[in-house]
């Protein structure tokens, strides 16, 4: 008669600190072991291990919470880049791809900085919105009395944001 085995007791979801060889004084290493996941049809529990190394000075649980909180930010950046410059990527030539990626990163950072200078709404907006609302503007360049002027639409709803961006980038020092 076969003996029935008891399944192992689930571990607590609390992260455990592990000792490392000789980390710097201002850093800490942590290993988190969530409870085992069992899928239907699997006889054995599945453990997932994660390691975190940080120099923030936070405790293990706080460092893991901070790390998981920042994980969504990079996904938004990738989605934003894929909707703009990286939609035309790759070209099949390594050097062309490298140049395109560098230009895409520079453009993304400049648009994010411009959005932050324009208004609180544009600071959180995606780069496509910033391009459509602040960069691609139907305006007219006029010259009178040796002065060049940019004529914007009269009832333009984003004139305050554009003026804030213009003022921030054209300060006289």
Answer with the residue of higher pLDDT: 52 or 29: 52
Q: How many domains does the chain have?
A: 2
* 59 and 35 in a common domain: yes
Domain span at 105: 84-152
Q: Is the per-residue pLDDT at 161 higher than 70?
A: yes
C-alpha span between 71 and 29 (Å, rounded): 19
Whether 127 is covered by a domain: the verdict is yes
* 131 and 94 in a common domain: yes
Whether 170 is covered by a domain: the verdict is no
C-alpha span between 128 and 164 (Å, rounded): 19
Whether 157 is covered by a domain: the verdict is no
Percent of the chain with pLDDT over 90: 29
Sequence-ordered list of residues with C-beta below 8 angstroms from that of 17, at least 6 positions apart, any chain: 28, 29, 30, 31, 60
Q: Among 47-56, 76-85, 126-135, which range has the highest average pLDDT?
A: 126-135
Q: What's the pLDDT tens digit per position in 57-73?
A: 888 888 888 877 777 77
Nearest to 114 by CA among 169, 172, 158, 170: 169
Nearest to 30 by CA among 43, 17, 20: 17
Q: Is the per-residue pLDDT at 2 higher than 80?
A: no
* 65 and 20 in a common domain: yes
Whether 79 is covered by a domain: the verdict is no
Query: How much is the pLDDT for 20?
Result: 44
* 52 and 30 in a common domain: yes
Query: Which range is least confidently modeled, 23-27, 134-138, 147-151?
Result: 23-27
114, 160, 127, 120 alpha-carbon torsion, rounded to 10°: 80
* 37 and 88 in a common domain: no
Q: What is the mean pLDDT of residues 98-127?
A: 92
Neighbouring-strand partners of residue 150: 141
Confidence label for 85 from pLDDT (cuts 50, 70 and 90):
confident
C-alpha span between 153 and 46 (Å, rounded): 62
Which one of 50, 72, 94 terminates a domain? 72
Q: Tell me the three state secondary structure of residue 60.
A: helix
Sequence-ordered list of residues with C-beta below 8 angstroms from that of 15, at least 6 positions apart, any chain: 30, 31, 32, 33, 60, 61, 64
């Amino acid at each position: 008669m076969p003996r029935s085995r008891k399944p192992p007791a689930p571990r607590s979801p609390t992260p455990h600190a592990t000792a490392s060889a000789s980390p710097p004084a201002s850093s800490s290493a942590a290993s988190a072991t969530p409870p085992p996941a069992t899928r239907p049809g699997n006889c054995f529990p599945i453990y997932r291990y994660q390691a975190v190394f940080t120099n923030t000075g936070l405790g293990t649980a706080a460092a893991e919470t901070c790390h998981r909180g920042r994980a969504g930010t990079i996904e938004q950046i990738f989605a934003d880049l894929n909707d703009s410059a990286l939609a035309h990527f790759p070209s099949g030539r390594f050097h062309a791809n490298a140049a395109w990626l560098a230009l895409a990163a520079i453009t993304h950072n400049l648009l994010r900085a411009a959005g932050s200078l324009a208004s609180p709404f544009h600071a959180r907006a995606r780069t496509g919105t910033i391009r459509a609302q602040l960069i691609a503007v139907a305006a007219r360049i006029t010259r009178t009395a040796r002065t060049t002027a940019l004529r914007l639409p009269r009832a333009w709803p984003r004139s305050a944001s554009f003026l804030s961006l213009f003022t921030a980038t054209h300060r006289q020092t």
